[in-house]
Amino acid sequence: MIDTTNLAKEYGARVLFEDVTLQLNAGSRYGLVGANGSGKTTFLRLLAGDEEPSHGTFNLAKRARLGILRQDRFLDDHEIILDLAMRGDAVVWEALSEQRRIGQACENEGHPDPGRISDLEDLISAHDGYTLQARATEVLVGLGIPMVLHRSPLSTLSGGFKLRVLLAQVLIGGADILLLDEPTNHLDILTIRWLEKFLAAYTGCAIIISHDQRFLDNVTSHTLDVDYRTITLYTGSYSTFVVDKAAIRERKEATIARAEEEIARKRAWVERFGAKNTKATQAQSRLKQIDRIEVEELVGSSRRAPMLRFEQERPSGKDVLAIERLSKAYGDHHVLSDVNLVLRRGERIGIIGPNGLGKSTLLKILVRRLAADTGQARWGHEVRFGYFPQDHREVLDDADATPLGLLEHACPGASPTFVRSHLGRVLFSGEDVLKRVGLLSGGEAARLIFALLIVQRPNVLVLDEPTNHLDLEAIGALIESLKNYPGTVLFVSHDRWFVSELATRIVEITPDGPRDFPGTYTEYLARCGDDHLDADAVVEKAKRARQESAAAANSPNATDWEEKKRRRNRLTQLPKRRDQVLAEIEAAESRKQAITDLYCSPGFFERTGKDQVAALEQEQAALGPQIEALLAEWEALEQEIASLESD
């Protein structure tokens, strides 16, 4: 459905990708992954026709319809929600609209065009147009927008739900090719699961940018990796891709290492023996061999992970937080009702659940940015909390400030080296530290808030959707840092991989109140058995099976132990033999040179008998092959030692 040939995109001297030759087929779903700024969205914009390539070409299948979810597109607030969704199928929508106009004209004028009416009927039937409203309703409900709102204007929805209408418009358009840029943004777990099922049944060609690893694993059949200044196609889900990419890189690095070792061995031979007249020809031969050895130059990866290390200035008391009968409503809409919860030191509590039930509201009440209607939340002894808001502007409220200025203000008296090194660890370097906060990308703003939390050294971290806008490398770094953090973590997230890797306790916010589970996300899935979590349980079960299989495959048995023992013994013996061979080479070379010196000494042949001269000639003739054999053995020994040491 999509073919690219030597496709490239450059901005001045900066090369995003080049030499991209791909064939993307119907029935396949491609996860487009890479570091923030590597060119993922640019690649989609090229395919969508929004930008021109710097070099190369691409072709889409003839008459293929494109469905494009852009992050920078907005809808009219005055339009009806259902109508906006139905507009996604432009062909049917226009035909139905014209059909309505003709009908109204007939009522007023009474002169219909039978031929045009027939053409419209055929067009609508051919595109299954009379089911458009039903299809639009189904998609909107699946994306979490209840039917009671479908006839309301878009302005009745919050920003996140407006984006769901935009996604619905794309999904019902009957597109042959879907280009989806972060479709899971602002979706909760239930809605993400619905979208996974929808895409799994999609028969066209889909290219999807996402930083949600579980979503990619559940949806994609292939992975497009934007790295090393190109785009590489891998078969399989994201988890498979990670393993395959690392293995390919390791093989390339091993091949380069072997080539460099071969060059080093030949150079060592030339340096050791090349000065001898008798070895000049062999030395030249080895130099030519060195010239013929090709060493591939590996392009550096564009992927960079921040260095995050959260510490606490001092521990809190054992009881960190007590929430008692806490309630909150916005007018007639009750988001929290009679919430009771106790947090203890060292817990990592993941708060999950559908949007609109008060998860972010609860965190805002806890960090005193919002007042509860009833009840209370009491922090424990010596608690100092740090807050990461979903809307970064709650913390980064001065758009004219700079990362350097904010961090200097957060740690007064600190040296410029200290401040810049902390910014460098979260990937701010050079002129980036002087960039206005109002111009920072979502990922940059998130990393800056992490830098501020690191220097604040709180003993409780309250995090509201901390993985939004982060790439997969940054999410992995955040998980590891929070696992090593000695304090308490309370977080809201819809990223199931993040929750499953981090949480030691799950609190699901439901319409009937919080459901508190003292265990990991995987254990919660096994206990819960809800439909929207079943697929996750299957994924976790498969993951555990793969891990157990890998562990069994890698477990040492008697044969492995014997082999390792043999290799250790061999590695002990080889250097001794190598040194012995070198000594024999030196002795043979010395003896050969000594015979030559005897020949050149004055009066040698006059005072030496014929039998003795013949014996010396025979000895010298035998030394040549002997030295060659020893040199060959020395090279083989060096190669075997290098091979054993690299394993």
342/474 same-domain check: yes
For 483-608, where are the E strands, in sequence order? 488-492, 505-510, 513-517
What pLDDT is stored for residue 226 in this prediction?
94
**pLDDT tens digit sequence for 314-367:** 999 999 999 999 999 988 888 898 899 999 999 999 999 888 889 999 999 999
CA distance 377 to 25: 55
Residue 47 domain-assigned (yes or no): yes
Query: pLDDT > 90: what percent of the chain?
Result: 44
State residue 123's pLDDT score: 80
Residue 541 has what pLDDT? 43
Whole-number mean pLDDT of the chain?
Answer: 85
> How much is the pLDDT for 561?
57
Say how far residue 159 (Cα) sits from the centre of its chain: 26
**Is the per-residue pLDDT at 440 higher than 70?**
yes
**Residue 110 — pLDDT band, cuts 50, 70, 90?**
low
| DSSP designation for 465 | S
DSSP 3-state of 249: helix
The pLDDT value given to residue 97: 79
The answer, yes or no, to whether residue 543 has pLDDT greater than 60, is no
pLDDT of 144 higher than 60: yes
pLDDT at residue 542, as a whole number: 43
Quote the pLDDT of residue 545: 44
- Do 310 and 454 form a contact (C-beta atoms < 8 A)? yes
Mean pLDDT of the region 221-227: 95
Query: How far is it, in rounded angstroms, from Cα 181 to Cα 436?
Result: 26
Average pLDDT over residues 88-104: 81
Pairing status of strand 385-388 against strand 29-34 = unpaired
pLDDT digits (tens, 9 = 90+) for 48-73: 999 999 999 999 988 888 999 986 67
Who contacts 419 (Cβ-Cβ below 8 Å, separation ≥6)? Answer: 404, 407, 408, 411
Among 14-23, 65-74, 484-493, 634-643, which stretch is predicted with the lowest mean pLDDT? 634-643
Both 507 and 583 in one domain: the answer is no
492 and 421 together in one domain: yes
Pick the closest to residue 436 from 445, 426, 423 (CA basis): 445
CATH code: domain of residue 125? 3.40.50.300
Residue 311, in any domain of the structure? no
Q: What is the pLDDT of residue 544?
A: 47
Name the more confident of 338 and 638. Answer: 338
313 part of a folded domain = no
Same domain, 366 and 451: yes
* pLDDT the model gives residue 235: 93
Q: Final residue of a domain: which of 519, 542, 575?
A: 519
Domain membership of residue 153 (yes or no) is yes
Residues 393 and 502 in one domain: yes
Over the stretch 553-612, which tens digit does the pLDDT of each residue have? 454 454 565 666 667 777 777 888 888 888 888 888 888 888 877 877 877 777 888 888
The answer on pLDDT for 277 being more than 70 is: no
Identify the pLDDT of residue 563.
Answer: 67
Task: Tell me what pLDDT residue 52 has.
Answer: 93
- Name the least confident of 24-38, 120-134, 204-218, 376-390: 120-134
Amino acid at 575: P
Confidence band for 278, pLDDT divided at 50, 70 and 90? low
Q: Has residue 236 got a pLDDT over 50?
A: yes
Side-chain-facing half-sphere of 304: CA atoms under 13 Å:
16
Q: What angle do CA 404, 406, 411 make, to 5 degrees?
A: 95
Using CA atoms, how far apart are residues 646 and 43, in angstroms rounded to an integer? 39
What are the DSSP calls for 149-206, one per residue? GTTSBGGGS-HHHHHHHHHHHHHTS--SEEEEESTTTT--HHHHHHHHHHHHT--SEE
Q: Which residue has the higher pLDDT, 97 or 504?
A: 504
Q: Say yes or no: 350 and 210 in one domain.
A: no
The pLDDT assigned to 565 comes to 65
Question: What mean pLDDT is predicted for residues 123-148?
Answer: 86
Look up the CATH number of the domain holding residue 609.
1.10.287.380
93 confidence band (pLDDT: 50, 70, 90): confident
What pLDDT, on a 0 to 100 scale, did the predictor assign at position 605? 74
Residue 68 resides in a domain: yes
Residue 256: inside a domain, yes or no? no
The pLDDT of residue 267? 84
Q: How far apart are CA 15 and CA 45, in angstroms?
A: 16
Shared domain for 509 and 366, answered yes or no, is: yes
Instruction: Mark whether 500 and 571 lie in a shared domain.
Output: no
Its domain, for residue 624, covers: 566-646
Q: Are residues 371 and 512 located together in one domain of the fold?
A: yes
- Final residue in a domain of this structure, among 243, 259, 294: 243
Structural domain count, the chain? 3
pLDDT at 639 > cutoff 80: no
Answer yes or no: do 486 and 626 share one domain.
Answer: no
Same domain, 171 and 25: yes
Q: How far is Cα of residue 500 from the mean position of the Cα atoms in its chain?
A: 17
Domain boundary among 454, 489, 519: 519
pLDDT bin (cut points 50, 70, 90) of residue 26 is: very high
pLDDT at residue 44 is higher than 80 = yes
pTM, rounded to two decimals? 0.74
Residue 254 covered by a domain: no
pLDDT of residue 553: 47
Average pLDDT over residues 505-533: 80
Distance CA 319, CA 257 (A): 55
pLDDT at 646 over 70: no
Count the neighbouring beta carbons within 10 Å of the beta carbon of residue 541: 13
In this predicted structure, what is the pLDDT of residue 413? 86
Alpha-carbon span 500 to 540, nearest angstrom: 9
What is the per-residue pLDDT across 560-573, written as a single tens digit (0 to 9) for each? 656 666 677 777 77
Domain assignment of residue 158, yes or no: yes
Dist CA 193 CA 531 (whole Å): 9
DSSP 437: G
- Confidence band for 173, pLDDT divided at 50, 70 and 90: confident
Backbone torsions φ then ψ of 312, nearest 5 degrees: -115, 140
Predicted pLDDT of residue 529: 60
The reply to whether 512 and 581 lie within a common domain is no
Per the document, the length of the chain is 647
